[in-house]
Structure 1
């Protein structure tokens, strides 16, 4: 007999041509393919773990429902305003709007105004005007309900607490009209005392200053829950409300700003947007009115001076006429008065312009007016200088607006100051040149007036004096009337300053909450309930280096004669898996001992019966030579199921034919696993090998399976490897070879101890057990190396422990189930 020859016939499905020793190209180990875990395998694995997914979905949906029930509903309100952006210059805009009285309006930059709407100063004004620095909250079921406006039962006024500090307390409204205050805290620190009882409407002293609790619109509702009062610091309140407000342009080329505000109260959101727009318009009017107010103060000062001077001139004329009895000289001077009047008129106009220029020049040079607006529209008949004044005032307004929202060190602010200084110097130079030119013109008019005066020299001296004084009277009167006119125009400018915005869409929105959206949250929770266990399974399977299924053995050359699935008993399967996990946790030296189960039954139709019959059929191809009767069973790892497969495969061979005898010899002298199925296994083969007895037959016992016999280990020896070298073992196997149809040698794991190598020469066939979920896939190439080395006779493998369901390479669950139903 050739022990190392391959017994498989040509074309046998478990024996590819390359598996023959003489056909093997080289002893090089094959490369295993770890890519057998594909999407299909993963989907099948997820189906097999469907309970995990159901539990995960229930948990996440429960968390989603809890989140929906505990999260306050948020509403979204929107509004749209149009910024009145004027592309023309200031003076041109005046002409188009109010050209008859000289009013003007500056252009506005939309992007700058968007920033202005979100400036802390404006938001702080909105918060203080609406009292948004204080929140009133009570708990209803799992939610915190915010009370505001018509739904607020009380109103708490903190009379002396600084705006930078925060405070909180709890209120309980009693039926007798009193209020219990508790848990008073200032800046997160509990006050002492922290509890008191007050009457509604009274001002009481507390640890953080006096407060007044007044009844609100909903005071009569009598909330059953405690109302929590939170007064935030002004900085925290600004940040909170600024975060809820968002702005964007309706279109890149438009001047319409869309506002979006999110809040738990619809009424508070509407009030916030309306008040924000109102305060912005008020500040815009105030900024634009600064120039007109400055001009008004200048005109009022000059009117008081001219009124005094005009009154003095009138008194001089009256006193002179009364003292000297001077008649009306108009008729006497009729010939020359027309020329004199025209000259006087021109002198009056030039003098007025000189006075106005001097007044404005003195105002600009005054250090006290530095940083203030220059009086505009004061009657200066020089379009160039008026344009310079308007440009200077516009730049000063922009600098003041920027200064309100930034510090003095801002580079933009420094640029503004530099430009203002340059423009002020240019104004001083222009006004000085204007004054000089006007003075030259006035001197020319005075020389012309002297000529006219010489022509009326024949008139009495009194008439000449009156003419001079009346001339001064007319100049003062004309200047006074002119300033009165400009004051009225300035007042019209104050009264007719238009708002910078026009409301396109008032605050509005759906009364349905925009957050939390129950459908979206439940969908997300449902997706998480599927993804998280799937991700855990994927990570676990990706990191799993254990042998999974038959797909991991596709590339090996060693003959595979079959696979044995896990037990179909779900409870037994679960227990075995937990035991396997505990083995990994406890280590290789902490094995949990258990007796193998005899599952093969006569006429049995379970998956286990069919799988062992399949292995039996494949094995009989190899044992058709009558000499191939001794079968050695071993493995790499302890717990691979050697004893289990030895017992059940031997039972399957014994049950095939009547009067067939199959013997199992337990040669695992260290653990004696298969011996535990016998009620008494205290004596056995070790007693015979050691020479304690010469009759080993008396230790052989018949199992519950007909035709199946078992020779137990007996006494556990201290030196199992040395004992196996005994010739008595070889003689015993040769003896039983003649008496039994098959002999199974249940051996310890190979490569761990020397027992398997010692027993190997006595066996005709070596069955190597590979346990799915136990064997490291990196050991698979080692199987081919053992096969190529011919250390074991007729080397073949059995895959043990594959899943009975959910495994793509296990055919027993699907094909046998379908076949069994048809039969």
Structure 2
């Protein structure tokens, strides 16, 4: 293939899935090892992780407009206005109130925990605790205490006690006081069988109530069934199923108790006001009855004059209206007194039958906002923005209400004056009726009014008493706390899947990043991607051992090894390229060079010369790297003539030395090969290579040998090769897999572009067999050795 043909090679590099996958498949061992390690870690984690179980409950929030609500009982009094349905989100915040969780911890005694000591981890004991702990100090001190200790029950009467696990145990009898920094406690056996717990180490942890409450609050999950539903789900995860159920059920119970208490506040305040009014009206009735008895007894009156009936009827109506107006005035005075100062927040009677709708509406709204404020204080502080807004609204309502009461009082005062004037007018018309009878009728009228109001308030008092017992909670339990009995954490399936994924992704990521940061060439394909207009003759496989090992560095006669086959392919490709080129001078002289030191020029030169000589051609190998000669090291131990001691350097320096005097015939692996060694290392190699004797040397060897292989110095490090490059008919430029940097190949491109080296051809040396370009395998139809099952899969 000519250089011109190479210049026309398609530069496109389509994605090769097989090649990309092979980068990872050939490192299958690391994937297997990583996956096994991750699975082992996952197994260990699952083996020694305490499983968690979930307990869930489902409740439905009820509206205050239900029939069992106190508002329904007092509907005709309109004491309470219909309030809007509370938002589900607000009620969920109320349920998650910190005070509820503190009450749960205290009721269930969750701040005192007992654990069975195991070899790896502890397991909590919940209901089957073999001991009881009785604290001497008050609950307020214990609720803030953090303390732990260990006991080991040794008999029905004694146990061993220690504060720290490594402390020396102290024998203590059941019922004996154990002194501590917070006042001490007494341990007594429970009703359970102590014999089953003999020798078992039990650790008891006493924690702060608030700490346990905060921990519970963070572990409880509450969410709405769906956006438009009033059904909410409450769940918690805990290692003990019964404990999780008790926590959820107790939380629901506390919420219902609190909401019922809030609803009863309105009924209690209303009943209190009615009782006060009943007592006052009862006293008035007793006084009116006594006045009638005394009046009739003293005046001996039994009948009313017929002629005064009309006046009496009209007067009675007027008196009734007058009394109602006065009654409303007293009620307004009472409501005005109930308002208190601006910063007080106490409920007021929402409606006592007043005729002013503005006062009725404002009082009802005031009570509604007051209840809402009390409810929000359970879940938020006084500094909460919503509470502050409610406080402002309450103050505004209170001011409006006070203003309305004052205006109504003025209006009632005018009405009362009018009714009193009318009463005076009726009385003046009744002068014809005996004064005693008129006075009696007046007393009876008052008696009737008081009786009607008294009976009405008695009825409402009974209804208020009934409502206190009929108040329903704000939620209905649809499903009590339940658990499936299967652990929800740790999720074994997901952990194993995660371990598999992690075990795969770690080596994958490492290999991917390594490949991404890789700046070296690895095979023929990599080299062709970097340099597209220079022929690549082939690849030389990596030799795993040296001459001391099982594989040899030098090819042998009739050799079928991978090394030998690779050099045969290079030889064949070189002959093909050589025939396609027209070289006038030095067509049989081949320079071997590279970019930097250590890329295997001497190794390649010797094996190429042996491969060429194995075809019965007369071949000469010249060691022209006079700075760092390596050929004689590779030939150490091979048979060689005894009298040839001069080399390339001596020929150039000493004109008396002829070319024949420097050439020796070696027998390497039964192959005869002429070699001209480099000789002594001179102090001025560059100047030496500019000698006229160089041309004399190459003219002679070119005419005497079929092929001359010249091992030269690295082209980028020194100028030696370029000084004698005009004597090369062809140049084999060597690169080394996993060694040659891609960036320094720019120097190779520059040499070729500037034609500083004649007939450049490339070879990749030291290629890992798994990286051979196009997946090639050298040798006699590849390796006939038996392959393992894994090698067949991942080849």
Which residue of 18, 23, 38 corresponds with 1:60? 38
Which residue of 571, 580, 605 corresponds with 1:616? 571
After superposing the two structures, state which structure 1 stretch, 144-153 or 154-163, moved more: 154-163
Which residue of 317, 338, 341 corresponds with 1:367? 341
Which residue of 578, 584, 592 corresponds with 1:633? 592
3-state SS, counterpart of residue 732 of structure 2: strand
1:494-533 correspondence to structure 2 within 5 Å: 494-533=468-507
1:789, distance to aligned residue in structure 2 (A): 2.6
Which residue of 755, 758, 779 corresponds with 2:723? 758
1:637-716 correspondence to structure 2 within 5 Å: 637-657=596-616, 660-676=617-633, 677-679=635-637, 683-685=645-647, 688-689=650-651, 690-691=653-654, 696=661, 700-716=665-681
Sort the Cα spacing of 1:781 and 1:809 in 2 relative to 1 into closer, same or farther, 3 A: farther
Partner of 2:29: 51
1:40 aligns with 2:18: yes
3-state SS, counterpart of residue 369 of structure 2: helix
Partner of 2:762: 797
1:329 aligns with 2:301: yes
1:211-230 correspondence to structure 2 within 5 Å: 211-213=185-187, 215=189, 220=194, 221-222=196-197, 226-230=201-205
1:521, distance to aligned residue in structure 2 (A): 0.9
Sort the Cα spacing of 1:238 and 1:41 in 2 relative to 1 into closer, same or farther, 3 A: farther
Partner of 1:108: 85
1:313, distance to aligned residue in structure 2 (A): 5.7
After superposing the two structures, state which structure 1 stretch, 775-784 or 135-144, moved more: 135-144
1:43, distance to aligned residue in structure 2 (A): 0.8
1:374, distance to aligned residue in structure 2 (A): 0.4
Partner of 1:182: 163
1:172-571 correspondence to structure 2 within 5 Å: 172-176=151-155, 177-183=158-164, 198-200=172-174, 204-213=178-187, 215=189, 220=194, 221-222=196-197, 226-308=201-283, 320=294, 326=298, 329-331=301-303, 339=313, 349-364=324-339, 366-367=340-341, 370-376=344-350, 378=352, 380=354, 385-438=359-412, 440-443=414-417, 446=420, 476=450, 478-552=452-526, 553-554=528-529, 555-567=531-543, 569=544
CA distance in 1, matches of 2:355, 2:286: 27
1:607 aligns with 2:562: yes
Sort the Cα spacing of 1:604 and 1:652 in 2 relative to 1 into closer, same or farther, 3 A: same
Contact 1:101–1:489 (CA under 8 A) maintained in structure 2: no
CA distance in 1, matches of 2:71, 2:692: 129
Cα offsets for 1:733-775 (capped at 9, x unmatched): 5555555443322222112012222343443322110112222
CA distance in 2, matches of 1:280, 1:545: 68
3-state SS, counterpart of residue 521 of structure 2: coil
Gaps of 5+ in 1: 1-13, 185-189, 577-593
Partner of 1:17: 4
1:544, distance to aligned residue in structure 2 (A): 1.0
Cα offsets for 1:563-595 (capped at 9, x unmatched): 22323x4xx4xx99xxxxxxxxxxxxxxxxx9x
1:65, distance to aligned residue in structure 2 (A): 1.4
3-state SS, counterpart of residue 251 of structure 1: coil
CA distance in 1, matches of 2:378, 2:126: 31
1:113, distance to aligned residue in structure 2 (A): 1.2
Sort the Cα spacing of 1:134 and 1:726 in 2 relative to 1 into closer, same or farther, 3 A: farther
3-state SS, counterpart of residue 346 of structure 2: coil
CA-atom RMSD in angstroms: 4.3
Sort the Cα spacing of 1:763 and 1:342 in 2 relative to 1 into closer, same or farther, 3 A: closer
CA distance in 2, matches of 1:151, 1:727: 106
After superposing the two structures, state which structure 1 stretch, 739-748 or 193-202, moved more: 193-202
3-state SS, counterpart of residue 233 of structure 2: strand
Sort the Cα spacing of 1:420 and 1:160 in 2 relative to 1 into closer, same or farther, 3 A: closer
CA distance in 1, matches of 2:491, 2:780: 48
CA distance in 2, matches of 1:380, 1:132: 53
1:466, distance to aligned residue in structure 2 (A): 6.2
CA distance in 2, matches of 1:483, 1:282: 29
Partner of 2:792: none
3-state SS, counterpart of residue 632 of structure 1: strand
Contact 1:684–1:699 (CA under 8 A) maintained in structure 2: no
After superposing the two structures, state which structure 1 stretch, 661-670 or 252-261, moved more: 661-670
Contact 1:154–1:213 (CA under 8 A) maintained in structure 2: yes
CA distance in 2, matches of 1:390, 1:219: 61
Cα offsets for 1:51-95 (capped at 9, x unmatched): 11111111111121122223321222322211123579x9x9878
Contact 2:161–2:171 (CA under 8 A) maintained in structure 1: yes
Sort the Cα spacing of 1:684 and 1:216 in 2 relative to 1 into closer, same or farther, 3 A: farther
CA distance in 2, matches of 1:129, 1:369: 36
CA distance in 1, matches of 2:355, 2:171: 73
Partner of 1:78: 56
Aligned residues: 762
3-state SS, counterpart of residue 206 of structure 1: coil
3-state SS, counterpart of residue 367 of structure 1: coil
Contact 2:116–2:122 (CA under 8 A) maintained in structure 1: yes
3-state SS, counterpart of residue 764 of structure 2: strand
Sort the Cα spacing of 1:431 and 1:510 in 2 relative to 1 into closer, same or farther, 3 A: same
Which residue of 95, 110, 119 corresponds with 2:97? 119
Cα offsets for 1:522-579 (capped at 9, x unmatched): 1111111111211111111111111232223145222222222323x4xx4xx99xxx
After superposing the two structures, state which structure 1 stretch, 200-209 or 787-796, moved more: 200-209
1:419, distance to aligned residue in structure 2 (A): 1.9
After superposing the two structures, state which structure 1 stretch, 499-508 or 618-627, moved more: 618-627
CA distance in 1, matches of 2:211, 2:33: 42
Cα offsets for 1:118-171 (capped at 9, x unmatched): 232333333333333444444545444333334686658685675885624242
Contact 2:667–2:673 (CA under 8 A) maintained in structure 1: yes
Partner of 2:708: 743
1:44, distance to aligned residue in structure 2 (A): 0.4
Partner of 2:793: none
Contact 1:700–1:712 (CA under 8 A) maintained in structure 2: no
CA distance in 1, matches of 2:118, 2:434: 102
Contact 1:632–1:767 (CA under 8 A) maintained in structure 2: yes
CA distance in 1, matches of 2:751, 2:395: 97
Cα offsets for 1:606-655 (capped at 9, x unmatched): 33222111111122346679963332211002111112211222221122
CA distance in 2, matches of 1:731, 1:431: 133
Sort the Cα spacing of 1:398 and 1:413 in 2 relative to 1 into closer, same or farther, 3 A: same
CA distance in 2, matches of 1:699, 1:710: 5
The two structures have a TM-score, normalised by structure 1, of 0.80
Gaps of 5+ in 2: 787-795
CA distance in 2, matches of 1:138, 1:613: 76
1:45, distance to aligned residue in structure 2 (A): 0.9
Sort the Cα spacing of 1:511 and 1:806 in 2 relative to 1 into closer, same or farther, 3 A: farther
Partner of 1:585: none
After superposing the two structures, state which structure 1 stretch, 469-478 or 260-269, moved more: 469-478
1:50, distance to aligned residue in structure 2 (A): 0.7
